[in-house]
Amino acid sequence: MRASRLIGGLVVLALVAAVALGVAQSLQQDGDGTGSDTETSGPRVPAPTPTPQPGSSEPPQPDLARFYSQQLTWEPCRGDFECATLEVPIDYKDPAGETIELALLKDPADQLDQRVGSLVVNPGGPGAPGTSYAENSSFAFRPVLGDHFDIVGFDPRGTGDSDPVDCISDAELDDLVATDPDPDTPEEGQAYQQSYEAFFQGCVEGSDSLVGHVTTVEAARDMDVLRAALGEAQLLYFGASYGTKLGATYAELFPDKVGRFVLDGAVDLSIDSRQLSLEQAGGFEVALRSYVQDCVGDDGCFLGDSLDEGLATIQDLIAQVEDKALPTSLERPLEVGNAFYGLVAPLYNRDYWPILDQALESAIDNGDGTLLLRLSDIYESRDDDGTYSDNSAEAILAINCLDDPWSITADEVAAQLPAFEAASPTFGDVFAWGLVWCHGVQTRATDTIGEVDGAGAAPIVVVGTTRDPATPYQWAVHLADQLESGVLVSRDGDGHTGYNSGNDCVDEAIEGYLVDGTVPPDGLEC
């Protein structure tokens, strides 16, 4: 879950790449990063087009033949990468109707003589651009995958450069992100609800007919068209966070087309939106406690001398910012909404805990909210000039609320607070208010599926991390159980998702499966 942009309810499916890559790139621009170096020895020679595998272009129904038989035209882009577009129908129930073009980006395999195939990747969100994920593949994936695979990312329909939905202006989005995510009065609660009603009204007014066809089911159908265009008889796939929901949905729709699948940072598809939100609130509480405990375990922790004292210090800071915004050097003050997102963003990756130390200490000791505001901006893909580099903060709501429009009203939140506060004393109220978000959705999905079990699919490796904030560990356990061919791999650690997080056991299990087809033992603990 995208590591998501906005938090609350199912809308928090957060994207691993958006936060991790955003923080890393920001630090690299400042000269402080430690990410992979990009080679600048000259443009890469275009990779040869592989011969399509037998049966790869066979459509699931005759009226989709023209989409399944299309050939991709790859052209150099963004430096050493290759880009193309894929044509798909807006409505799969009307293949002769309107179409859209999906943006694709390929990072060709470095060792062509060892090439296994095309690995389609999705970073989560929903709403995060898959082209950016593939563009940053040297950061997101270890070299062994780049050696053996063309890593292909696509911007799912309604996101990135694939006819992005547009719901509100950049200034309005600034206000929405900055607003108090935990309203204090009935009047504030009604205003909070109305802001999301206005958001969805804007989606209808500011976007074309695609806004009613950005479901996960339709994106999964797009992936099968992409598989065919890549010439693969079976889809090779790595999905992170929300990308696990997308991958599991694909397995339900096209089980015979499932190749080597890895679903990392899994979403539990068997529970409803309220339960997802409740358990995710608990996930962020666990992650925050792990961060605080790490600090207070050393002498001189700026948060205090104990876990409870450290948590109280952070909670007091958020309350102070709610009462009065903190000044920054970024032309905008730190509002309470930004403080919240600035706090949770570094919880996605343990390597960024020192950044959170700096941000919190600066705010607590010096009354300076600059670093927390910068982290919030990275989380939301906001650039320094006030524009947003992608539409993920809007797409996540449009997609999630089309997938599942369930919601409550502002007046009904009070009844939810006890359960959410018990699950997360720090974040519970925010997640309870997130249940309001889909209240104003004005479109309804026309393409849906029922229970997901992927019956008949090849082995699907599901990865869970014990202290994952955005996709709690039990979600991976449950998804592996739900999928008939699910294979569970567990990482004992902090941060969102398990692959390329410093655990050789996890990395080797995933790479052994993707590269060699060696299925890890079910229940592997790393």
- Is residue 501 situated within a structural domain? yes
**pLDDT-derived band at 44, boundaries 50, 70, 90:** low
Whether the pLDDT of residue 416 is over 80: the answer is yes
**pLDDT-derived band at 46, boundaries 50, 70, 90:** low
Both tokens assigned to 69: 């038989």
**pLDDT-derived band at 79, boundaries 50, 70, 90:** confident
Is residue 465 within 8 A of residue 488, CB to CB? The reply is no
The string of pLDDT tens digits covering residues 208-218 is: 889 999 999 99
- Is residue 55 situated within a structural domain? no
Beta pairing partners, 76: 82
Percent of the chain with pLDDT over 90: 83
Phi, psi of 7 (to 5 degrees): -115, 145
The C-alpha atoms of residue 150 and residue 275 are separated, in whole angstroms, by 38
SS3 content of the chain, % helix, strand, coil (to 5): 45, 15, 40
**pLDDT-derived band at 292, boundaries 50, 70, 90:** very high
- Is residue 480 situated within a structural domain? yes
Phi, psi of 8 (to 5 degrees): 140, 125
The C-alpha atoms of residue 44 and residue 253 are separated, in whole angstroms, by 37
The dihedral region occupied by 78, where left means phi > 0, alpha psi between -120 and 50, and beta the remainder, is left
- Is residue 63 situated within a structural domain? no
Q: Tell me the average pLDDT of the chain.
A: 90
The string of pLDDT tens digits covering residues 86-128 is: 999 999 999 999 999 999 999 999 998 999 999 999 999 899 9
Both tokens assigned to 144: 């062994």
Q: Order across the sheet with 149-154: list the strands.
A: 75-77, 81-89, 99-107, 149-154, 117-122, 235-240, 258-264, 460-467, 486-494, 524-525
Percent of the chain with pLDDT over 70: 91
The string of pLDDT tens digits covering residues 164-208 is: 999 999 999 999 999 999 999 999 999 999 999 999 999 999 898
Angle (CA) 417 418 419, round 5°: 95
Q: Can you tell me which residue has the tokens 């079976």? A: 234
* Residues catalogued as catalytic: 241, 468, 496
For 67-82, the three-class secondary structure string (H helix, E strand, C coil) is HHCCCCCCEEECCCEE
Whether the pLDDT of residue 393 is over 60: the answer is yes
Whether the pLDDT of residue 11 is over 80: the answer is no
- Is residue 417 situated within a structural domain? yes
Residue 186 structural domain: 1-32+74-526
- Is residue 438 situated within a structural domain? yes
Is residue 426 within 8 A of residue 288, CB to CB? The reply is yes
The string of pLDDT tens digits covering residues 463-503 is: 999 999 999 999 999 999 999 999 999 999 999 999 999 99
Is residue 157 within 8 A of residue 163, CB to CB? The reply is yes
- Is residue 57 situated within a structural domain? no
The CATH number given to whatever domain includes residue 209 is 3.40.50.1820
Q: pTM of the full predicted structure? A: 0.91
DSSP one-letter string for 188-220: HHHHHHHHHHHHHHHHHHHS-GGGGS--HHHHH
pLDDT score for 160: 94
Domain count, the chain: 1
Radius of gyration of the chain (CA): 22
- Is residue 384 situated within a structural domain? yes
